[in-house]
Structure 1
């Protein structure tokens, strides 16, 4: 991780909330107030080995005394979820960055939420928020089994009539054609979960012109309009001009030149390294920005994206 994670928090409690899913409640070491956040936000958690992973905040944004995250133990963990499950206990301290929000809840009268597995975590505070505001909403929540699906009781406590549980061992995958088939045009669809679920939601919503917001666990496949070609980046604050060769990312080149850019996943999914673009046209290859944000061309995820113009001027 380049840059810094500047919050040291204490594990106040941990509990199992579903099969393979542990919830951690984190508190400030000094009992002070935590930074504010809104539904959809995540924090970066730094492991003892320096591995950084992003976890959605699933508690109450109005509670400035604690953060809640829920972590699925991945079968092929690269050291993130396994470390949290095996080594973090009550009273332990952990280094955290953020919070950051690249999955914000847009104001609107009607919502359809679609969750797959641990993808329920960013949607939980959204559902509480829209319910308090009196918006119309429904949740379609899939998982491998009912036992693997976290926070079912909390969701039902908000409004059980709007919560549709769809464990795949009982009824197969979520039928998105039916679920999203008749949503009115002013509806926002929020989807988080495994890549096949998100790709299917994108296909259905694209055909129907439905407004879709997604958050991914892993990078999507990107078809670039051109291959990797060299270009230059100009640092607006200093005038430093750097060449980005074919085999390196913008972040690699900036780091080598001593330009500090906060990064985490380095695969275009977390949004940590988002940087403003003052001139030039980015070649977007991330899994974070919406189509509207891509078209605006005023920001870039330099860990994976490149340039469609000979030079990019970055607000660094």
Structure 2
């Protein structure tokens, strides 16, 4: 599997509040860190309501500075619990982490680089900005935040990029002009995006409409981002005669697996599509939080990615395609 993990012991060796809702974690693996490249992430075992779950966090350095990993975690009170666990940690606490993965690789051969971040989506782009700071190619970073206090890496990025950094503050400047950003990318330039699912969908739609090469649009997702607040819902599987409760702070995939429903999965980020199930019916809208299904498939509501997507309450009836004994 692409996302097979090798787990190692590590400790939290430093903590710093870098904005009202974002905390910086310095993590030191017990036996030394592995090498990695800009755009990489690590996976961390967290405890959510006495369950062991896995969350993914982007590495914000460049992979060459020292023997530590650094991640930034935004506290999401109505999320699935991973950020609340991380914020409960203290210095010297022990955790389990994976080796670095990189499925958001920074190309070295583009004619230009446009980086777009929404909120805490800046985290994978910090290492890219550092790597590109001395590039002789055109580089532009658009960093969108709701309030100026949430621009956690603004000063650092300004030091590296100077006028190539464009900070957009929502309560001062309004929302990002997505159309203008997409249209500004030259025909052979690359666009790197990380932010809320609505921003990713809007940029993807405009990119396709412009008939630009799909391979030049690259994006990172974070599963906490949805169109509706996370809340409890029920999953009915008629063929297996099962009715499974999915708590607000648990993924549909995890709840089904706990109930003995076998589903294939890998990335657990809504990217690979292995956990896709058929939707028979639903009493409430499906909150599609993946980037695997197309906009047309999401509008049809006939399939969903169980690892990140969920129902906005009520009951969703599915067919897992699993033929149990």
Partner of 1:228: none
**Shift, 1:3, TM fit:** 7.2
Residue 150 of structure 2 corresponds to residue 145 of structure 1? no
Does the CA contact (< 8 Å) of 1:59 and 1:125 recur in 2? Answer: yes
Give deviations 1:3-60, integer Å, cap 9, x for gaps. 765111111101011220000011122xx43111111111111113412111111112
Change (3 A) 1:24 1:129: same
Partner of 2:313: none
Cα distance in structure 2, aligned partners of 1:273 and 1:3: 14
**2:129 counterpart SS class:** helix
Q: Alpha carbon RMSD of aligned pairs, Å?
A: 3.7
Residue 222 of structure 2 corresponds to residue 217 of structure 1? yes
Cα distance in structure 2, aligned partners of 1:289 and 1:136: 30
Partner of 2:112: 110
Change (3 A) 1:198 1:257: closer
Using structure 2 for the length normalisation, give the TM-score.
0.68
**1:59 counterpart SS class:** coil
Cα distance in structure 2, aligned partners of 1:41 and 1:181: 28
Partner of 1:243: none
Partner of 2:98: 97
Does the CA contact (< 8 Å) of 1:57 and 1:69 recur in 2? Answer: yes
- The runs of 5 or more residues in structure 1 that have no matched partner are 222-246, 275-284, 292-300, 305-310, 312-316
Partner of 1:231: none
Give deviations 1:252-311, integer Å, cap 9, x for gaps. 89xx8999x88563x624x6989xxxxxxxxxx9946699xxxxxxxxx9969xxxxxx9
Cα distance in structure 1, aligned partners of 2:32 and 2:182: 40
Partner of 1:198: 200
**Shift, 1:63, TM fit:** 3.2
Partner of 1:40: 39
**Shift, 1:220, TM fit:** 8.2
Using structure 1 for the length normalisation, give the TM-score.
0.70
Change (3 A) 1:220 1:79: closer
Partner of 1:59: 61
Cα distance in structure 2, aligned partners of 1:114 and 1:168: 14
**Shift, 1:183, TM fit:** 2.0
**1:124 counterpart SS class:** helix
Does the CA contact (< 8 Å) of 1:188 and 1:213 recur in 2? Answer: yes
Does the CA contact (< 8 Å) of 1:195 and 1:216 recur in 2? Answer: yes
Change (3 A) 1:23 1:214: same
**Shift, 1:106, TM fit:** 1.8
Partner of 1:242: none
Aligned residues: 258
**Shift, 1:147, TM fit:** 0.3
Which range is displaced more, 64-73 or 179-188? Answer: 179-188
Partner of 2:178: 176
**1:98 counterpart SS class:** coil
Residue 80 of structure 2 corresponds to residue 81 of structure 1? no
**Shift, 1:96, TM fit:** 0.8
Does the CA contact (< 8 Å) of 2:129 and 2:161 recur in 1? Answer: no
Which range is displaced more, 119-128 or 58-67? Answer: 58-67
Cα distance in structure 1, aligned partners of 2:86 and 2:273: 21
**1:189 counterpart SS class:** strand
Change (3 A) 1:34 1:207: same
